[in-house]
Chains A and B, each alone.
Chain A
Amino acid sequence: MTDVYVDNFVYALGERKLHVTESEAQGLLLSSAADLMAAGFEWHHRCEPDTTAYDLAVTTANQLVRGPLDGVDAIVYATCLPHNANVGSAEEWRRTRDVKHLMDFPASRLQADLGLDGSVVIGLNQQACTAMLGSVRVAGALLGAEPDWQRVLCLTADRFPDGARYEQSYNLISDGAAACVVSRQPAAFRVLTAHQITNGGLSDASDDETVGSYFSYVARLVRETLDRAHLAPGDVDWVVPQNTHRKTWDILSRIVGIGAERVWMPSLPDAGHVISADNVVNLASLVESGRLRRGQRVLLLMAGFGLNWQSLILEATGDAAMPASGRGSQPDHGARELAERSVT
């Protein structure tokens, strides 16, 4: 397999930071605020009414605009909600009945807005919350298949539609976007393996079934991922999972044989489950913590709505990991204006 590397982990969160009690008062939750707090959730981030998932994407990508994105050969643009993979106006579609309004693709816009002229775009929108990890896997495969390509921008961006509940399967949700760059040149992390399990048979699973099947599938995902990389549980230095109930990894770590002290998800209280972006938010924080050492292996895991499970094992190379512009940010309307200007 071609050696591929990944770094430049950046993200953006919805600009309204709300306490779980405020969201409870606004009727945005199914569980009580107290129950969600007992699970470790506290704050979450929602977009302002006029901020789109695409705005989040632009804000995120703008953190990389000078430097890492130069000469990007492809953009893999991933969304959890297929709805976020179209920026066309619903109103225009209804008025004109012209389907072009149903296929106004954010990835193409991003290519134009950021001036990534030499890149091609690929959309991923059927992998639920695992889409960010899926995009890295696809990027690695593309670099393997295209000997002339050097770099692929992986980006995920989602916001829930107006009126949506901000709780899924007992998780408090944040709107957010995340990105990273997968490259052929050595960078902060070498990708040791990527793995995916899909079970379409659970497509109509209830929240309880999603939670119910979670443990056996994650245990299987860990087992198979380690097997693919010819590693044992003891070879994993860090687990960077999705933000979910604080007890989850107390349980799983014993089943998979990776100590709970090696699990890194400090953003749980502050951000909740940022759809596909959790791994990036947590990995950025691990990098920033200074605790990551050269040669350490990081297992990133994600479950997607009971249907998809994806993972990556990365090995820290010790090279520079973060873009100069820093880790997370919030959508600024400069970015949005840039997007709008480009369209008109």
Chain B
Amino acid sequence: MGHILITGADGYLGRQVAARLLRDTDDRLTLTVRTADPGRRAALADLLDDRRVDVVPADVRDADPFAAVDAAGVTTIVHAAAVTAFNVDAPTALAVNVEGTAKVAAFARRCPRLTRLLALSTLFAAGRRTGTVTETRHDDTAGFVNHYEWSKWAAERRLLTEADAAGLPLTVARLATIVAEDGTGTVGQYNAFHNTLKLFCYGLLSLMPGDPKTPLYLATAEFTARGLAHLARPDVPSGIYHLAPAPEEAAPLGELVDLAFDVFERDPGFRRRRLLRPAFCDIDGFRDLVEGTRGFGASPMRQALDSVSPFAEQMFLAKDFDSTRLRTAWPAAPATDTRRLVEATCTHLVTTRFGRRAP
């Protein structure tokens, strides 16, 4: 029997991966969480019913966050803890995402039975590069759109260096943007994707920064958690994977915006308002809008723009994420129908008024 340690276990993906590993393995699970706040434990209630599960507080900013965990028995580490906001400031991104990850690697070195260190990264660790992006380590020459991206890239670099030096069984899973729990389109966690659609749906934004042709790589939590559970297995080769739809499954931004409006327009309330589909603007135009609305205080528009602006530039930077390695290592990887996923997700968003009412 193995012993799996999951960091960020009360986060969105942490919980999903933990549930899947409990289902798929006989292993013991140690869930590490930033805060032992009892209120937060509620999020883990389902998992804690299982006697194989224990919870350990571990803030990765602490000097030795995993001191309370017995390294001797740990066979697998899934590192999901991170600050995931696109507008995270540089010091926080450095402290949590980069140095925190280095502490996870240091702990991994103390685990003699370790068969897999699985780190969750993002496709955006590719930063500003365009064109085909391969499942290999990136340099930072292209630069990054925000501190989040940079920190995920820097975390990868630290891990890969550590793994080389210490022979760690490291797998880096670069994830696509998760927009729904599964094919039903139910939204489990709201992010910049949903916030942008909300701005359009409520008529607060009529400009879309980006090139309509830029492909979007979107996934479900189910696909991602299944993939992570697979990549955590000791018999699957370590290395870098794009845990994402294949390039031919991605869909262009312009088409997805149109699809979202097709769904919004099925709602009589939306139709009555005759909101137009957004005009695509260049990045300078969008920056002018963001700067121009800076004086709008805490208005809904201002808040919404704040959530969109940190990643806007990526909408101009077309990338094709090659996932040949993933599909070789995980032949059963399910296909993604991006258009159907976006349609189902938008339907859920409209039906629940963006999470404000029950479906």
Contact = CB atoms under 8 A, between A and B. Distances in A.
A212 B292 contact: no
A38 B199 CA distance: 24
Contacts of B300: 208
Interface stretch (A145-153, A156-164, A246-254): A246-254
Contact of B292 (A39, A202, A209): A39
Contact of B275 (A35, A208, A213, A254): A213
Contact of B295 (A35, A201, A213, A250): A35
B199 A212 contact: yes
Contact of A31 (B272, B279, B297, B301): B297
B90 interface: no
B273 interface: yes
Interface string A218-260: 0110000000000000000000000001111011001100000
Contacts of B202: 209, 212
Contact of A213 (B276, B294, B296): B276
A170 interface: yes
Contact of A216 (B206, B285, B291): B206
A320 interface: no
A38 B300 CA distance: 20
A254 B301 contact: no
A248 B276 contact: no
A207 B277 CA distance: 19
Given A201-B272, A209-B203, A216-B207, A170 B295 contact: yes
By size class, the interface of chain A is 20 to 34
B285 A250 contact: yes
A247 B206 contact: no
B346 interface: no
Contact of A208 (B204, B272, B273, B294): B204
A38 B294 contact: yes
A96 interface: no
Contacts of A289: none
B132 to A, nearest CB: 29
Contacts of A247: 288-289, 291-292
Contact of B204 (A170, A212, A217): A212
A322 interface: no
Contacts of A202: 203, 273-275
B281 A251 contact: yes
B205 interface: yes
A36 interface: yes
Interface string B197-218: 0010011111100000000000
A212 B205 contact: yes
Contacts of B204: 208-209, 212
Contacts of A209: 202-204
Interface string B268-309: 000011111111111011101101111111011100000000
Interface string B35-78: 00000000000000000000000000000000000000000000
A222 to B, nearest CB: 10
Contact of B288 (A170, A212, A250): A250
Contacts of B279: 215-216, 219, 255
A303 to B, nearest CB: 12
A199 B203 CA distance: 13
A215 B207 contact: yes
Given A209-B204, A213-B275, A251 B301 contact: no
Given A38-B294, A202-B273, A248-B292, A255 B285 contact: yes
Contacts of A2: none
A207 B203 CA distance: 11
Nearest to B278: A216
B276 A216 contact: yes
A208 B279 CA distance: 17
A32 interface: yes
A247 B291 CA distance: 8
Given A202-B203, A212-B203, A216-B207, A251 B274 contact: no
Interface in B131-153: none
Contact of B281 (A199, A205, A212, A254): A254
Given A202-B203, A254-B285, A212 B301 contact: yes
A13 B332 CA distance: 73
B206 A215 contact: yes
Given A213-B206, A215-B206, A247-B289, A208 B276 contact: no
A214 interface: yes
A215 B206 CA distance: 6
Nearest to B205: A212
A170 B203 contact: no
B296 A170 contact: yes
A112 interface: no
A226 to B, nearest CB: 15
A34 B278 CA distance: 30
B161 to A, nearest CB: 43
A214 B297 CA distance: 19
A204 to B, nearest CB: 9
B285 to A, nearest CB: 4
B295 A251 contact: no
Interface in A165-179: 170
Interface of B: 199, 202-207, 272-282, 284-286, 288-289, 291-297, 299-301
User: What are the nearest 8 A-B pairs in CB distance?
Assistant: A35-B295, A216-B206, A247-B292, A216-B276, A212-B204, A208-B301, A201-B273, A251-B285
20 contacts: A35-B294, A35-B296, A38-B294, A170-B295, A208-B300, A212-B199, A212-B203, A215-B278, A215-B289, A216-B206, A216-B279, A246-B292, A247-B289, A247-B291, A247-B292, A250-B284, A250-B285, A251-B207, A255-B207, A255-B279
Interface of A: 31-32, 34-36, 38-39, 170, 199, 201-202, 205, 207-209, 211-217, 219-220, 245-248, 250-251, 254-255
